[in-house]
Chain A
């Protein structure tokens, strides 16, 4: 196949993409079932859009730090509204790798802050949660767009964070993603029983001395880190396609949470590899192809399930 030939002979980035996809699959496959059963799909969407704000902030700060002329331009654009940079100014624009790192860590910080914020709000005000999530969702993205607009030069690359860019994952980022995935996996191994308890019956968990607030915060932070692993694969805007849809599909056919995880890990792995290989050398971008495949799979599963139930 053309994809594998290219991967082996002249484009190691294709392999990076595959590995990034598999790391994202492990995280999504394990965290997704919690997201579905705990009903925090919308919270996850809000977290991922907060991360867009973080991308903007990260890149903005990178420019602030590195480019002396940038400060003047920002002050000019905003009439002194936004703060000017301090500290050493090395001169020149930041390189592509620096921008990528700034974006990744900015997104991660924003996503984790968003997760903590949502977890705390969730405990206090239950009823208007969907409205608040909608607000965080929209405002997070708007912050990102404002800051990115102020940051010239790399606007073309912004789509890489919004809509994914699985064909260009630098090795350094792959290492970060690997560490994230290992952290998510290890935390789940420690917390699984507690997550299970709050998914099943929060009130009972509280009675047994398991804090719903803290457990929920840990879970939402894991969602935030999982969002980071998905950023390059389908993009921050489309995270839910990989986080929620395969897990929901698995939920149609699993009777235990652990089975749901196994099925959704496998589904995610198939989704991040097969569509990508199929659309290689065609004008279709791999990232939306992955999303469409996830959506198609989910809808098919819904139809099959209804048919099975109707036949009984």
Chain B
């Protein structure tokens, strides 16, 4: 690795970013004056209502979108050049499970670069893929087709695929959107372990499940406010969501302030989490979309 990955340099530096989707652009921003710095070994949860700009923020960090105002830098460079330093875990809908490929095949595609040619992967790449599978604890599934795996196992396959390129930053988009409570618990432990070696940013409606391990929480609803994980209060959450999204407000307040009452909140919670992140591109003033 190069000298850019030192402890003093932040991995990602987002400075005064304003972004809006065309045609209105910065006139109707999805993100406004957002500043955020991600340090090595950070563990940041980004929470906020649907259409609050969470997915947009991830796309900016990955360099798929360019801000109208402000700058995004990854290791002091343009994000589009530094994508190989970032592991991205999408919601698992993007992998076509009907493609005939086993788990190892899928993880190996994480090793691909713009300069990868040839028919097959080398010994070293296969070893790296197996190591990534070990890391997420599913090495024994290497030769199983994706279609036969459970939701939680698929999630781990995607994390392994992101890890196999040895990133410095792992981005997770709604990792708990489609998994059961007990799978969540396993995922929490896994992310906590991985956090020893790399920075993690995860976007979620439901930040309660990793709140014990999160180092910081960013509340994002067009504007951002970052807090140390232990200082998050129901008050902050309430301010962010505003009065018009009461069921979401309730769910988060409950889950964050009192983990013990989580079961009681489950129905409202499920409702709050049922939207998709893609709606972040929609009207930011209408959280119900």
Interface, chain A (partner B; CB < 8 A):
33, 37, 188-194, 196-197, 199-201, 203-205, 207-210, 251, 254-257, 259-260
Contact = CB atoms under 8 A, between A and B. Distances in A.
Contacts of B96: 37, 199-201
Main secondary structure of the interface of B (DSSP, over half): loop
Interface string B131-161: 0000000000000010000000000000001
Contact of B90 (A194, A196, A204): A204
B117 A201 contact: no
Contacts, number: 91
Contacts of B119: 188-190, 192-193
A196 B98 contact: no
A210 B101 contact: no
A205 B109 contact: yes
A208 B100 contact: no
B155 to A, nearest CB: 14
Most chain A C-beta atoms within 10 Å of own C-beta, residue among B94, B119, B161, B165: B119
10 closest residue pairs by CB, A with B = A209-B114, A192-B119, A255-B145, A189-B119, A197-B109, A37-B99, A201-B95, A208-B112, A260-B100, A203-B94
29 contacts: A37-B98, A188-B119, A189-B119, A192-B118, A193-B109, A193-B117, A193-B119, A193-B121, A194-B116, A196-B101, A199-B99, A200-B105, A201-B95, A201-B109, A204-B90, A204-B94, A204-B110, A205-B109, A207-B83, A208-B83, A208-B165, A209-B83, A210-B112, A210-B114, A254-B100, A255-B101, A256-B101, A257-B105, A260-B100
Interface of B: 62, 83-84, 88, 90, 94-96, 98-102, 105-106, 109-110, 112-121, 145, 161, 165
A257 B100 contact: yes
Contacts of B145: 255-256
B122 to A, nearest CB: 11
B27 to A, nearest CB: 26
Contacts of A204: 88, 90, 94-95, 109-110, 161
Contacts of B161: 204
A203 B89 CA distance: 11
Nearest to A209: B114
Nearest to B143: A255
Contacts of A191: 117
Given A201-B95, A207-B62, A257 B101 contact: yes
A257 B115 CA distance: 22
Contact of B117 (A190, A251, A260): A190
Contacts of A255: 100-102, 145
